[in-house]
Amino acid sequence: MSVDFRSDTVTKPSDQMRSAIANANVGDDVYREDLSIKHLEEKAADLLGHEAGLFVSSGTQSNLCALLTHCARGDEYIAGQTAHSYRFEAGGAASLGGIQPQPIPFQEDGTLDINEIVNVIKPDDFHYAKTKLLCLENTNQGQAIPTSYFAKIRKLTKDHNLFLHLDGARLFNAAIANNVEAQEYAKHCDSVSICLSKGLGAPVGSVLVGEKNFIEKARRWRKMLGGGMRQAGFLGAAGLYALDNNIQRLELDHLRARKLAAGLSEILGDDAVSCATNMVFINYKNIADLSARLRSKNILISGNRLVVHLDINDSDIEHALTAFSIAVVTS
């Protein structure tokens, strides 16, 4: 069996989650008759301190529904230069919604500079797109952004009449790392997307939360995007199990990531390794060659990032470190 560090998206449902899936109470969710989906949406909204939730197929669909709901054609959203919603979602907001992106660089700590945000907000002039939305990520490249930053950002968005959307694909990792409840972040945002299929271990899905009126509008966009599902309760049951059982255990992933980073530091040097929440980053002269050597020993990595998740145990960490030692010596 391979030890797969490529992403936490590779997690597989546990036996207990599979049992929950098999016994799910299902109905037609387009008709709003699937009780498992209803319970999942309510639970996610409650966890994040918002009025309502919407189950969607992916984080990409969740972010896109949020952008399409907050913005009209010709509007603009601000995001980080390497933000998932800007760089890795196939240009959906621009292509399908006519929404113009305004990217700005991330700072080293994963935040956006507040002065830079203000500088790119467009004046009320018909020559410009209307700046309507600011998009943040937490975590960002594994870095857990502090709640104090969100409080400052919320003041900024209110001062400039902007909506605030949080791509919280790994929001619970940030909450665990900073020892706060996830709603301490979410309370500052107009909408939040959380992913169920990364560290939480569900096979499919994300939940978008916000005010009831916002979610009703987003539901229409979900339908237009082909996201209406019928007996989706099987997926809903997996999501419910994930929220009930797999949030607090994320700390174990963080501990194992730190253990992996410590071992890799001994092999590659302290300056070549960094760790943030469940992610380890390495600086190596020939990543492609190293990756191939590791693959021959059933260790899978993607680029310079290694992601620890619930399918990786302590023995896997030890096996990976042994494989790294051999691969580096022979390279």
Integer Cα distance of 109 and 142 in angstroms: 10
Query: CB within 8 A of 237, min separation 6: which ones?
Result: 20, 21, 23, 24, 25, 36
Which 3 state secondary structure label does DSSP give 254? helix
Residue 331 pLDDT exceeds 70: no
Integer Cα distance of 100 and 320 in angstroms: 43
Integer Cα distance of 164 and 160 in angstroms: 11
Measure the CA angle with vertex 330, ends 327 and 331; round to 5°.
80
Asked whether the CA dihedral 112, 117, 118, 119 is positive or negative, the reply is: positive
β-partners of residue 134 are: 78, 164
Domain with CATH 3.90.1150.10 in the chain: 249-330
Radius of gyration of the chain (CA): 20
14-245: which CATH number, 3.90.1150.10, 3.40.190.10, 3.40.50.720, 3.40.640.10?
A: 3.40.640.10
Integer Cα distance of 22 and 20 in angstroms: 5
Find, among 36, 44, 10, the residue nearest to 231 by Cα.
36
User: How many residues are recorded in the chain?
Assistant: 331
How confident is the model over 72-115, as pLDDT tens digits?
Answer: 999 999 999 999 999 999 999 999 999 999 999 999 999 999 99
Average pLDDT over residues 39-45: 98
Report the percentage of the chain scoring pLDDT > 70.
99
Which 3 state secondary structure label does DSSP give 107? coil
The reported pTM is 0.97
Residue 245 pLDDT exceeds 80: yes
Q: What is the pLDDT of residue 329?
A: 79
Integer Cα distance of 224 and 243 in angstroms: 28
Task: Determine contact, residues 77/129, Cβ cutoff 8 Å.
Answer: no
Integer Cα distance of 125 and 135 in angstroms: 22
DSSP states of 267-301: HH-GGGEEEETTEEEE--TTHHHHHHHHHTTTEE-
Domain with CATH 3.40.640.10 in the chain: 14-245
Q: What is the pLDDT of residue 1?
A: 76
How confident is the model over 103-143, as pLDDT tens digits?
Answer: 999 999 999 999 999 999 999 999 999 999 999 999 999 99
| Surface-to-core class of residue 141, CB atoms within 10 Å of its CB (0-12 exposed, 13-18 middle, 19+ buried) | middle
Question: Average pLDDT over the chain, rounded to whole?
Answer: 97
Q: What is the pLDDT of residue 180?
A: 98
Q: What is the pLDDT of residue 67?
A: 98
Q: What is the pLDDT of residue 223?
A: 97
- The CATH code for residues 249-330 is 3.90.1150.10
Q: What is the pLDDT of residue 228?
A: 96
